Amino acid sequence: MCIIVVKPQGVKLPDEKLLRACFENNKDGAGYMYSVDPIDKNKDGAVIIRKGFMTIQALLNSLAATNITADNVIVYHFRIATHGDITPENTHPFSIETSIKSLKSLKVVTDMGLVHNGILPIKPRYGLSDTQEFIASFLSLEEIKK
Distance CA 123, CA 129 (A): 9
The number of angstroms, rounded, from the C-alpha of 52 to the middle of its chain's C-alpha atoms is 9
pLDDT computed for residue 120 by the predictor: 79
pLDDT computed for residue 42 by the predictor: 57
Distance CA 37, CA 112 (A): 14
Indicate the DSSP class of residue 32: E
- C-alpha dihedral, 109 to 62 to 132 to 46, nearest 10°: -20
Distance CA 87, CA 46 (A): 26
pLDDT computed for residue 40 by the predictor: 55
pLDDT in tens, the chain (146 residues): 889 999 999 999 999 999 999 999 999 999 999 988 655 555 555 899 999 999 999 999 999 999 899 989 999 999 998 777 899 998 999 888 878 888 889 999 888 898 988 877 777 776 778 888 888 887 765 544 44
State how far the alpha carbon of 2 is from the alpha carbons of 80, 112, 127, 143, in Å. Answer: 5, 20, 18, 27
